Chain A
Amino acid sequence: MSIEPAADEVELRVNGDPRRIRVDPRVTLLDALRDEFGLTGPKKGCDLGQCGSCTVLLDGRRITSCLTFAVMHDGREVTTIEGLGGDPEGELHPVQRAFVDHDAFQCGFCTPGQIMAAVALLDEGHAGDDDEIREWMSGNLCRCAAYPNIVTAIAAAAGR
């Protein structure tokens, strides 16, 4: 017999915007962002915490949003790729700009996750040298293998 869990109410501040939603407790943060908030920048590459394409910032720290439920984050601050303020027709965030300038992607599917991880990495102070960047970016898979250019882009964004 299946029992439908009751929807829960949570307030999330997504990209600076506080919003209350009623959500099925089985809904991951990733699915809530994509379906409830219409933010399809974060991608579902595996839904198992193994690829990093769903990476967002939760209270400023990077997490794989597929590996946590939306209802667990009442009152928390979430930043997605859309929250970086980059405008595809105009000014981009410096990390986004660096990714374009250094061709740090191909199909682009992993890219929102890579960029969010890179933003966090810079904040963490893990861009000391290329090897450090490689190590701290290794939670984000890129099957197109734009890896060398991702390293160059992040180093450039770090001002090296």
Chain B
Amino acid sequence: MSPEDPWIGRPQARVDGPVKVTGTAMYTGDVALPHLAHAVLLQSTVAKGRILGTDVAAAERAPGVLAVCASDGSLGIGPVASYYSADNGPMGDGRTPLSDAVIHHHGQHVAMVVAESREQACAGAELIRVRYREQAPLARIEDAIPQTPPGREDVVRGDLTTGLAVADATVEAYYETPPQHMNPMEPCATTARWTGNRLTVHDSTQHVFGVRAALAEAFGLRPEDVRVLSGFVGGGFGSKGTVWPHVLLAAAAARLVGRPVRLALTRPQMFTSCGVRPPTRQRVVLGARRDGRLTAIAHDGTTATSFGENVVENTGGTTAMLYACPNVTIRQRIVRLDMQAPTFQRAPGRAPGSFALESALDELAHELGVDPLELRLRNHADTDPSSGRPWSSKHLRECYRLGAERFGWDPDDRTPGTRRDGDVLIGSGMASATHEMDPGPAAAYAELRVDGTAVVGVASHEIGTGTYTVFAQIAADVLGVGPDRVFVRLGDTELPEAPPSIGSQTVAYVGPAIRRACEAVRDDLLAGALADPESPLYGREIGTIEFGGDTFVGELSRIGSPSISAIGHAHPDAGSPYAVHSFGAQFAEVAVDARTGTVRVRRMVGAFDIGRVINPRTARGQLVGGMTFGLAQALMEATTIDPRRGHVVEPHLAGYHLPTNADVGALDVLFVDVPDPHIGDVGARGAGEIGVVGAAAAIANAVFHATGVRVRTLPITPDRVVTAGSGLGWGDFGG
């Protein structure tokens, strides 16, 4: 392959497609080991209190049961304080599991049963009797007192009061988003096996090195004595980015019974064991001149966290940088509830934050009588308002233009409640999208073999994002072999270390490490050849050498070497003078049933600037997935917490609604596709999360356009549409 016709940029079919469609791709729960025992967890039925006693006698006598552990610290799991307190560290549950009698949240693990079979372990768990002293939990944001998160300062630019004083129009509105669960289709699972003092763990994780660090700390092992493998991961969305208690428990169980143990969380347990996006309450105030130019923005976000963790759902992050405005105040507050540890979920902070900000902009546009798209253009930020730095690359205007054109956005058709199609009211809405990149260093391994194949390896992960395929494309271009001849190895702590597969950073920051490793292989081989009078390449100018597979492989065979390998490192510039963000524009058309208030999304168009698109096929999948995630947040997803007892009311997929195929209309994704010159040598930015950002607002804004009803609480369920519309003569829409 010549540099003029690279593999990068092609819609290459997934190299792991055939194993995925034949059911031969191995996920953690598929790993079968000889003498495998099964662990199941029993969880607290109260949200706050103490365990008074745990009667395990009947469970211990139950057929097939190998061990029963109560929450008494007898498992000997050490604290994992340094893993959890690391800088920018994991947001998870830092308490040692099954260590004491204190109950911090509903669904906390209170006992574990290990048995020959899963059925026997479940039957054993049912025989355990736990007595609690239950206390009334703090379960609602409204009942708790907001506090400033430790170490966090308000963002203040200019002067809000002045900005509001000079405004011709102002908008002030309150928005709410509920707790949301990641619910990857693969529930978390861990299989652990000890060989003497060495521990091997198969884990459905987005971060094998994080799991290794936590296990080493918990069991007093050297990190090199712990191997963590992740195989294929059946989606994560944040729920597998941190080490959760069950991972430590699986390893402890295996040590206790002296056999390999599999511990798979059940779907209901997924609602209390591996994080949640916390609920938010937000207030947005906007001030603007008659022409739409913003003079003031205030964005206050109050989000829930547990008593043990300081997790902040950063609702104002987008607000700080998205629009040019001289007077900005952003405040984040937390309230502590008796709840599970929250964590980052796909597009943390930006998903709920952009719902509020982009809804408020729509309210302002309506107030001013300005087209919402035009309003955004008038406030376009040419440099990063939060830091003053130039953008590494920004083509947001192009996103607006492309998206509006494909969608058929009509600036003159902005009067709400005017388009009707039989029993439904039709409306359109839009919103901006952005996602910040968080650089992390990575290393990778590359090897070229004389048989014309290549191997690249890095402890990154395949969570559905197309990592295998994209890395094969990057390697193929450098090494001159087809992507189908590049074997990519991922998800193993024996491979060079990479950051967790979160934050849309894998392609952007691990991709360059793959490229460096391949370049090192190529350069080593070339250096030898150019200096060797026997080589056909002897004395040639590097620029004149055709980078084909034969060149390199021929050279390998000539020198009689079976293979050549190298390690490559990529260190994104921490002190970069640039602000690095992906951008996008979201458009949605909805149909709202005039009698019931039911909202259907007929179609969405998203236009995105994610730098260079390495693989339009897999990138499109990420964005369609993200937009659907946003659609779900707009219309259906919410975890109901019992206000009195702090329970998750519907811990299963019949109650917690994910979109089905019939819920998703036509989704169109467009790319600007211009390489970012300031992000590694690959020029790609993140695609995994930005599709979520702005999607819920675009839908909410479309609902307003359809009906004149503004719903400021997610999800936009029919009852909310009807209730919010009652004062507006909603009944008049019916007919």
Minimal beta-carbon separation of A93 from chain B (angstroms): 8
A125 at interface, CB cutoff 8 A:
no
The 8 Å CB contact of B625, one of A88, A89, A106, A151, is A106
A44 at interface, CB cutoff 8 A:
yes
- The complex places the Cα of A39 from the Cα of B30 at a distance, in Å, of 9
* Shortest Cβ distance from B27 into A: residue: A109
| B84-92, B152-160, B227-235: which lies at the interface | B227-235
Question: Contacts A27-B119, A82-B23, A88-B18 given: A148-B63 contact, CB under 8 Å?
Answer: no
Minimal beta-carbon separation of A80 from chain B (angstroms): 7
A124 at interface, CB cutoff 8 A:
no
The answer to whether A143 touches B237 (Cβ under 8 A) is yes
The answer to whether A107 touches B184 (Cβ under 8 A) is yes
Question: Contacts A46-B652, A87-B22 given: A141-B624 contact, CB under 8 Å?
Answer: no
Q: Which residues of B contact A47 (CB under 8 A)?
A: 266-267
The answer to whether A86 touches B653 (Cβ under 8 A) is no
The answer to whether A40 touches B23 (Cβ under 8 A) is yes
Minimal beta-carbon separation of B634 from chain A (angstroms): 14
Minimal beta-carbon separation of A144 from chain B (angstroms): 5
B169 at interface, CB cutoff 8 A:
no
Q: Which residues of B contact A82 (CB under 8 A)?
A: 22-24
The answer to whether B621 touches A106 (Cβ under 8 A) is yes
The answer to whether A106 touches B661 (Cβ under 8 A) is no
- The complex places the Cα of A89 from the Cα of B466 at a distance, in Å, of 19
B370 at interface, CB cutoff 8 A:
no
Q: Which residues of B contact A39 (CB under 8 A)?
A: 23
B660 at interface, CB cutoff 8 A:
yes
The answer to whether B124 touches A2 (Cβ under 8 A) is yes
A128 at interface, CB cutoff 8 A:
no
Q: Which residues of A contact B32 (CB under 8 A)?
A: 35, 38, 40
Minimal beta-carbon separation of A127 from chain B (angstroms): 13
Q: Which residues of B contact A140 (CB under 8 A)?
A: 660-661
* Shortest Cβ distance from B235 into A: residue: A107
Q: Which residues of A contact B24 (CB under 8 A)?
A: 41, 82, 88
The answer to whether A148 touches B667 (Cβ under 8 A) is yes
A145 at interface, CB cutoff 8 A:
yes
The answer to whether A106 touches B464 (Cβ under 8 A) is yes
Minimal beta-carbon separation of A22 from chain B (angstroms): 13
The answer to whether B23 touches A80 (Cβ under 8 A) is yes
A63 at interface, CB cutoff 8 A:
no
Q: Which residues of A contact B621 (CB under 8 A)?
A: 103, 106, 144, 146, 149
The 8 Å CB contact of A41, one of B14, B23, B653, B663, is B23
- The complex places the Cα of A110 from the Cα of B186 at a distance, in Å, of 8
Mask, B23-47, CB within 8 Å of A = 1, is 1111101101000000000000000
Q: What is the total number of residues of chain B having a CB less than 8 Å from a CB of chain A?
A: 69
Q: Which residues of B contact A139 (CB under 8 A)?
A: 660
Contacting residues of chain A (10-62) with chain B, CB-CB under 8 angstroms = 24, 26-27, 31, 34-35, 38-48, 50-51, 53
B563 at interface, CB cutoff 8 A:
no
Q: Which residues of A contact B267 (CB under 8 A)?
A: 45-48, 50-51
- The complex places the Cα of A20 from the Cα of B465 at a distance, in Å, of 41
B431 at interface, CB cutoff 8 A:
no
B574 at interface, CB cutoff 8 A:
no
Q: Which residues of B contact A99 (CB under 8 A)?
A: 17, 21
* Shortest Cβ distance from A90 into B: residue: B18
A67 at interface, CB cutoff 8 A:
no
B586 at interface, CB cutoff 8 A:
no
Question: Contacts A24-B117, A141-B185 given: A86-B22 contact, CB under 8 Å?
Answer: yes
- The complex places the Cα of A27 from the Cα of B29 at a distance, in Å, of 16
B654 at interface, CB cutoff 8 A:
yes
B674 at interface, CB cutoff 8 A:
no
The 8 Å CB contact of B234, one of A2, A4, A109, A148, is A109
The 8 Å CB contact of B185, one of A88, A101, A137, A142, is A142
Q: Which residues of B contact A44 (CB under 8 A)?
A: 29, 187, 264
Question: Contacts A38-B32, A140-B661, A144-B464 given: A43-B186 contact, CB under 8 Å?
Answer: yes
Minimal beta-carbon separation of B469 from chain A (angstroms): 10
The answer to whether B652 touches A145 (Cβ under 8 A) is no
The answer to whether B18 touches A103 (Cβ under 8 A) is no
B629 at interface, CB cutoff 8 A:
yes
B666 at interface, CB cutoff 8 A:
yes
A65 at interface, CB cutoff 8 A:
no
Minimal beta-carbon separation of A136 from chain B (angstroms): 9
Minimal beta-carbon separation of B22 from chain A (angstroms): 5
Q: Which residues of B contact A1 (CB under 8 A)?
A: 58
B19 at interface, CB cutoff 8 A:
yes
Contacting residues of chain B (639-698) with chain A, CB-CB under 8 angstroms = 652-654, 658-664, 666-667
Contacting residues of chain B (63-79) with chain A, CB-CB under 8 angstroms = 63-64
* Shortest Cβ distance from B620 into A: residue: A103
B16 at interface, CB cutoff 8 A:
yes
The answer to whether A147 touches B664 (Cβ under 8 A) is yes
Q: Which residues of A contact B464 (CB under 8 A)?
A: 105-108, 144
Minimal beta-carbon separation of B698 from chain A (angstroms): 16
The answer to whether A86 touches B21 (Cβ under 8 A) is yes
The 8 Å CB contact of A50, one of B23, B63, B652, is B652
The 8 Å CB contact of B666, one of A41, A96, A148, A149, is A148
* Shortest Cβ distance from A100 into B: residue: B17
B118 at interface, CB cutoff 8 A:
yes
Minimal beta-carbon separation of A89 from chain B (angstroms): 7
* Shortest Cβ distance from B62 into A: residue: A2
Minimal beta-carbon separation of B660 from chain A (angstroms): 4
B437 at interface, CB cutoff 8 A:
no
The answer to whether B22 touches A92 (Cβ under 8 A) is yes
Minimal beta-carbon separation of B204 from chain A (angstroms): 10
- The complex places the Cα of A31 from the Cα of B119 at a distance, in Å, of 10
B208 at interface, CB cutoff 8 A:
no
B173 at interface, CB cutoff 8 A:
no
The answer to whether B185 touches A45 (Cβ under 8 A) is yes
* Shortest Cβ distance from A84 into B: residue: B22
B618 at interface, CB cutoff 8 A:
yes
- The complex places the Cα of A148 from the Cα of B603 at a distance, in Å, of 11
Minimal beta-carbon separation of A57 from chain B (angstroms): 13
B314 at interface, CB cutoff 8 A:
no
Contacting residues of chain B (612-635) with chain A, CB-CB under 8 angstroms = 617-618, 620-622, 624-625, 627-629
* Shortest Cβ distance from A39 into B: residue: B23
- The complex places the Cα of A42 from the Cα of B91 at a distance, in Å, of 32
The 8 Å CB contact of B653, one of A48, A87, A138, A151, is A48
Contacting residues of chain A (100-123) with chain B, CB-CB under 8 angstroms = 100-101, 103, 105-112, 115
The answer to whether B13 touches A101 (Cβ under 8 A) is yes
- The complex places the Cα of A133 from the Cα of B661 at a distance, in Å, of 9
The answer to whether A46 touches B653 (Cβ under 8 A) is yes
A81 at interface, CB cutoff 8 A:
yes
B127 at interface, CB cutoff 8 A:
yes
B123 at interface, CB cutoff 8 A:
yes
B222 at interface, CB cutoff 8 A:
no
* Shortest Cβ distance from B666 into A: residue: A148
The answer to whether A138 touches B13 (Cβ under 8 A) is no
* Shortest Cβ distance from B660 into A: residue: A138
Contacting residues of chain B (97-137) with chain A, CB-CB under 8 angstroms = 117-120, 123-124, 127
- The complex places the Cα of A16 from the Cα of B658 at a distance, in Å, of 35
10 contacts between A and B (CB under 8 A): A41-B22, A43-B185, A100-B18, A103-B13, A103-B14, A109-B232, A111-B23, A141-B653, A143-B185, A148-B624
**Other A-B pairs beyond A50-B652, A89-B18, A105-B464, 13, CB < 8 Å:** A2-B124, A40-B30, A43-B234, A45-B186, A46-B187, A86-B18, A88-B24, A107-B234, A138-B660, A138-B661, A139-B660, A144-B621, A146-B625
B residues touching A (Cβ–Cβ < 8 Å)? Answer: 13-14, 16-27, 29-30, 32, 58, 61-64, 117-120, 123-124, 127, 183-187, 232-235, 237, 264, 266-267, 462-466, 617-618, 620-622, 624-625, 627-629, 652-654, 658-664, 666-667
Give 3 closest A-B pairs by Cβ, nearest first: A41-B23, A109-B234, A107-B464
A residues touching B (Cβ–Cβ < 8 Å)? Answer: 1-2, 4, 24, 26-27, 31, 34-35, 38-48, 50-51, 53, 80-82, 84, 86-89, 92, 96-97, 99-101, 103, 105-112, 115, 131, 133-135, 137-151
